[in-house]
Each structure stands twice: as structure tokens, then as C-alpha cells.
Structure 1
Amino acid sequence: MEHVHVPKWLVFFGLVLLVLQQHSYNYSVVAAKVPAVIVFGDSTVDAGNNNQILTLLKSNFHPYGRDFLGGRPTGRFSNGRIPPDYVSEAFGLRPSVPAYLDPMYNITDFAIGVCFASAGTGYDTATSDVLNVIPLWKEIEYYKEYQTKLKAYVGHRRARTILRQAVYLVSLGTNDFLENYYIFPRRRLEYTIGEYQEFLIGIAKKFLKQLYSLGARKISLTGLPPMGCLPLERATNIFDNNKCDDKLNKVALEFNAKLKSMTTKLNQELPGMILVFTESVYDLLYGMIKKPASYGFEVAGVACCSTGTFEMSYLCSEKSPLTCTDANKYVFWDAFHPTEKTNHIISTHLIPLLKEKFLN
């Protein structure tokens, strides 16, 4: 048989491809600006954990996800991607962060990004009890479990590096007020609104210190949105012509001010901690609601799904003939959650700040 000469460069190229295929995880981490994005919180950042628990608060069906990659309803409370997905992509990782409880994924996926968030949860454990979702303390337990799996997968030293260098996204609090304090009387009987804010701040501080003790160093904390302007709150504000509820917005601003103060103190108390409070989210979303045309929207008062006034989760039915055809015209997807376009605008605004703070 005639001997075929294979150029050395071709052999080398083939070996490189083989190594990259065998070590795709290591390659993706080297190419990325951070090793992983790790997410805690509520429906604003839940990638589908609620799909796997017994709760009425789910979104793993159309029309949710109709504009997601492949048109698949993942359990994200939007027509498409949510902020952690955009942050992950911007830091050189994949374009979506998987839910920890999603059986489609395992530690090979979670090593570069994982979401522990649960729609309907809050700082207060009583909030998670309302719709039987994952409480914040349980999200931490899942994180500890994840750490054990990560150490087994990449080794203790590499795992410690990933956990210290990862970007952590934390977003919750709205449900504590809207779903818990104002709807059910238990907390209102115990606390004034100011006292309840301080109660939640205490939980938030303890949670962030716990994350720090478990290795987290780069944390982005998102405050409350202008919750009085959510379509659901406007729909119930019938005595003021369905305008934004200024009382609820005032509560959000007060709570955000307290979160900001707490952030400053924790950065001083905890060596090596880079805790970023993204306070501009409130103003940005409020701007979209008040001047939608400036951001390329047509509708801000009601949502895309069905009548756009009170529907979310199972009430946001694919059978409804009222659901809008183009979600890009709307600030809100359902009565509580932003559209993918809104999430993209917010994320694009935040990402430069996160890069400035975390890439050092």
C-alpha cells in the first residue's frame, strides 16, 4: 500500500480538535471572562425550577417561551430570555443559564452556570409558603449540594476558584410585599411596613453573609421594581383610573434605599467582597413604563398575554385569542413579568457596570 503523507500541521490541528472535544468544559471556561454565573431569587430570574415542584406557579407551557431559543417553554416567566441569560452570554458563557432542578442538565452543564431561583419566593419564608415554592434557605441548601457535586467533578482546588470567581446574581423581594404583606394579613398584624422592610433587610444581610462564607465574592443584588406600575397592580387601582399605585412605588424606593445602605456596610465588613446594588433597574423600568416610545415600545399599561391585566402562570393560556402577536411592542409579557425585549434592555444597561466591578 502506498504511504500517504499527512502534513504535520494537519496532525496538530486534528489533535487540537480532539483535545477541545474531550475538554469542552475547560475550553469554555478559559474562553470566558468569568468561570460561571450562579443565580438566586424569584420569577424574575427563575429558569424553570418550579417545573419540578408541586406548585400552581409554573410557566412551562405556551405561550411562555414562544420567542425563546427553539420556541421552547422552559419555565421562564417571559416570552423569551431573562436577565441571567444575557449576563451569562455577555461574560463569554452560554446564552442561557439552566435551572438546577431541570433533569435535562447535570453538573457538566452547571459547572459554568446554574440557577437556584424559584418563582413566587421571597426573603421571608412565609412568602414561599403562599404558593408552595422553594424558600430562600432551600436555595442555599441546593447551592451547598451543587458545591459538593462541583468538587467531585473538577476537583476541590478548581471548584474553590470557580466559586470565588463566579458572578452571583440575586433578585427577589417583590413577592414579599405584593404576594405576602398586602394580600395576607399575618405580617401586617406583626409589622408596620417600615418594620417589615427592616425584617427583610435582616434576612437579606444574613443570606448574603452566608453566600460569602460559602465562597461567593462577586454578587449583584437587584432591588425592587416600580411594583405599583405592574399591570396587575394598575388593574386593581380602579379608583385612580388604573394609574400606577404611588404608595407601592414609594415602598419599593424606601426598601431599595435600605438595601443600598446594607450593601455599603457589607462591602466594608467583608474582606474581598464585591457586592453591587443595581439600583438603576427601578428608574430604567419606570422610564419604559412612563415613556414607552422612547424605548421602542407601544404598550406599557397592560401586558401582552390575554387581557394583560391580571393573567400570569396558568391564566396566561395559549388558548386565549387576546394574546398579542408581537411581544416586542409591550413592556410586560404577563401581568407581573417583563417581555424578553424589556429584559434585554435592562440587562444591556447593567452589564457594563457588572463588567467594570467584577472583571479585575
Structure 2
Amino acid sequence: MPFVYKHKQCVLLFTLILLLQSTQITRADVTAVIVFGDSTVDSGNNDFIKTIGKSNFRPYGRDIYGGIPTGRFSNGRLPTDFISEAFGLSPFIPAFLDPSYTIKDFVLGVCFASAFTGWDNVTADIFNVIPISTQLEYYKQYQVMLKEYQGEARAKETIRQALHAVSLGTNDFIENYFLLPVRSSQFTISEYIDFLISIVDNFVREIYKLGARKMGIVSLPPIGCIPFERTINLAALGQCREEINKAARDFTSKQEQLVAKLNAELPGLKIVLGNIYGLGIDIISNPSAYGGPRSCFENVVTGCCGTGLLEVSILCNSLSPTCPNAHKPTDKYAFWDSVHPSQKAYSIVAGYLLKTALSVFL
């Protein structure tokens, strides 16, 4: 059986299961989940562009689709997949560039995200991935397709009631500013944060003009504590990099101010910021509190893949040993590779967002 067929068959099967269990699904006035962002929400777009920033090989995807990689940077589903399912929509949001999908598949949700990208187009250039400006162009193409499929009036309503989810910014800091001397040679960290905030502001106003009225932006987690950053922290090997965590907190603070401003200025817009920084710190500081006595996190320092210190993307491959999957010990790891959380961690993040910021849409 060809992979494409099997891939779509799995999605259809999960959707059928959801329909059969409809009494257990949260019913919400959300017509679709439309996703912009980076690897935390990229469901496979990078598979179809020329970049080394891919995850369409094993062991990625080990715990979904029978272990067949989907282009998701994890061992399983992403936060947006869980969020979509909670709204009674598809449990797997399809990638816009995946040719195995059509507008029929995108009606309930679509993903424009690209791993290794950022708010700053220069960040996207580092790994030759899809900048947020191009994701916006894809969104416009999607709207044309939706109008042709649903008719103009219905398509406008779909967009108006859709949740526009954004997870972006990590790479602007860990790649573009702190790892490579790209923007750090041009901006102080405070200036760079203001520069990024101006891009966020313009982006929200652009999709608002295109009809978006419901929007959720996810804050940065404590990115100075990801395994990769701990590994390269020469000043205090194995410890979190506080200068990066501080940048994440400062950026989030500016995002909070921007969200309040946008809600006040744009009639009919409901935009929320899901602040997950504190959740991330708590998982790292108190891992035994997450998952119950038999499946709580035991490792929040290294990833499951390889040594868990540096392996990510092409360095996490079929030759990399991973934590064994008997009795799902992957669930014991907060990180799948040296940068990206595990499916279990992502499910916790999604649950937290649904109970907090996104609860206004339920």
C-alpha cells in the first residue's frame, strides 16, 4: 500500500472514531484550526521544500502511523493536533504543501508552518525554509481555494470562526541571535525584541484584514533549558542558559502588551496569548507532578533520541539509538530530540492552553 494512501487512510480512520465518540468531544464554535509557525507545529511542510531541516525519516514519528514519519518534529502528534481534536475537528492537521491532500482535507484545518523558521525572514534564510511572509501568501491561496470549494459567503464564515494558531519565535533567538552572529551584530537584544514585536503586529493586522477574528499565539517556553542549549552552555555546562530564558520572558511580556493593544484597536478581534513559560519551568523543576505515578517524567534534561544532547533533524536518524518503547518509556522523556518536546509533553502543553488562554473559544 503506498504511503500517501495509508497516510490519508489513518486520518480518515481517526476522524471516523471521533465522529462515533461525538458525545465525548467538546463542541465549540470553531470551524477550523489554521496554523502558522515553526517546527513546534509543522506537520510536514518542510518535506516538500529544499532544506536539510526535515524530519521525514525514522525515528521521528515512532509513536504514530505505525512508526511512519510524517514530517512532525516529535515522536508523535503536535500541540495543534491535540487542540484540533479537542475542538471536535481532525486529530491530525494536514500540511498545506503535502500533495496527498486537497481543499476537502483542509476545510477543518490546515498547517502552513515550517521548521527552523521565525518571525524574522532572516531566520528562515539560515536553513532555507518557509518565512512567515510566505506562510501568509499560502494563507491567501488557501482562502481562494476555500471560496471555490465552499462558496464566498460560507468560506468567509469559515475563516471568521476559525482559530488561527501561531507558534513562532524560538528560532529567532536560539539560531539567529544567540548561536550565529546574524542579528546580534545589528541589534541589542532589547532592540531585536522590539523589531520582532513589530513583525508580529503587522502579521496580526494582515490576517485580520483577510477575515481572521479568532487567534491564539503561544509564548516562548524556557528555550534556554532545551537540551541543545544546556549542551553548548560552556559557562555552566548542563545548566539552563539564563540569558536566553530572559530574552524569552522579555519577548513574552512585549507580546502580552501587543495582544492587549490589538484587542482594543481591532473591532471583533479576539486574540489571546497562551503563556507556557511557567508551565515549562514547572515541568523541568517538578517533573514527577506530570503524568501520574506510573508515567511521570523522569528525564527533562536530555532527549530520547541518541545521546539526547545535540541530535536534532538529520542528526536524529535511523542510526540513532532511542529510548526503548516497551511500556511507552518515551512518556518518561519531556524531550524527543535535543530541541523538540515529546508527544506526551506536547499533549500537556495543549491541555494547559485549552484550560487557560484557549478556553474563551470553547
Q: TM-score, normalised by structure 1?
A: 0.89
Q: Decide which of 339, 342, 358 is 2:342's aligned counterpart.
A: 339
Partner of 1:104, secondary structure, is: coil
| Cα deviation, residue 320, structure 1 | 2.0
Classify 1:324/1:176 alpha carbon distance in 2 versus 1 (closer, same or farther; 3 Å).
farther
Equivalents in 2 of 1:105, 1:85: separation in Å? 16
In structure 1, the partner of 2:320 is 320
Contact 1:331 1:338 in 2 (8 A): yes
**Structure 2: which amino acid aligns with 1:321?**
P
**Structure 1: which amino acid aligns with 2:185?**
L
| Cα deviation, residue 32, structure 1 | 6.2
Classify 1:352/1:114 alpha carbon distance in 2 versus 1 (closer, same or farther; 3 Å).
same
* Residue 176 of structure 2 is aligned to residue 180 of structure 1: yes
Contact 2:305 2:321 in 1 (8 A): no
In structure 2, the partner of 1:158 is 154
Equivalents in 1 of 2:97, 2:28: separation in Å? 24
**Structure 1: which amino acid aligns with 2:165?**
L
In structure 2, the partner of 1:289 is 284
Partner of 2:35, secondary structure, is: strand
In structure 1, the partner of 2:111 is 115
| Cα deviation, residue 187, structure 1 | 1.2
Contact 2:29 2:361 in 1 (8 A): no
- Following superposition of structure 1 onto structure 2, how do residues 125-274 of structure 1 map, counting pairs within 5 Å? 125-274=121-270
| Cα deviation, residue 103, structure 1 | 1.1
| Cα deviation, residue 255, structure 1 | 0.6
| Cα deviation, residue 71, structure 1 | 2.4
| Cα deviation, residue 97, structure 1 | 0.4
Equivalents in 2 of 1:355, 1:139: separation in Å? 23
In structure 2, the partner of 1:309 is 309
Partner of 2:334, secondary structure, is: coil
| Cα deviation, residue 239, structure 1 | 3.1
Equivalents in 1 of 2:209, 2:358: separation in Å? 23
Partner of 1:300, secondary structure, is: strand
Contact 1:305 1:324 in 2 (8 A): no
Partner of 2:216, secondary structure, is: strand
In structure 2, the partner of 1:5 is none
| Cα deviation, residue 329, structure 1 | 0.7
In structure 2, the partner of 1:103 is 99
| Cα deviation, residue 286, structure 1 | 1.3
Equivalents in 1 of 2:120, 2:221: separation in Å? 18
| Cα deviation, residue 322, structure 1 | 4.9
Classify 1:92/1:182 alpha carbon distance in 2 versus 1 (closer, same or farther; 3 Å).
same
Contact 2:310 2:338 in 1 (8 A): yes
Equivalents in 2 of 1:71, 1:225: separation in Å? 28
Contact 2:119 2:199 in 1 (8 A): yes
Count matched residues. Answer: 331
Give the unaligned 5+ runs of structure 1: 1-20
Question: Aligned-residue CA RMSD in angstroms?
Answer: 1.6
Q: TM-score, normalised by structure 2?
A: 0.89
| Cα deviation, residue 357, structure 1 | 1.4
Contact 1:164 1:217 in 2 (8 A): yes
| Cα deviation, residue 69, structure 1 | 3.5
- 1:190-211 CA deviation, whole Å, 9 max, x = no partner? 1100000000000010001101
**Structure 1: which amino acid aligns with 2:350?**
S
Contact 2:29 2:161 in 1 (8 A): no
Q: Decide which of 25, 30, 36 is 1:34's aligned counterpart.
A: 30
Equivalents in 2 of 1:70, 1:271: separation in Å? 46
Equivalents in 1 of 2:262, 2:302: separation in Å? 38
Contact 1:51 1:58 in 2 (8 A): yes
Classify 1:322/1:156 alpha carbon distance in 2 versus 1 (closer, same or farther; 3 Å).
closer
In structure 2, the partner of 1:300 is 300
Q: Decide which of 54, 77, 81 is 2:77's aligned counterpart.
A: 81
* Residue 88 of structure 2 is aligned to residue 53 of structure 1: no
Equivalents in 1 of 2:69, 2:138: separation in Å? 23
More displaced, 255-264 or 312-321?
312-321
| Cα deviation, residue 324, structure 1 | 4.5
**Structure 1: which amino acid aligns with 2:279?**
L
Equivalents in 1 of 2:34, 2:249: separation in Å? 26
**Structure 1: which amino acid aligns with 2:309?**
T
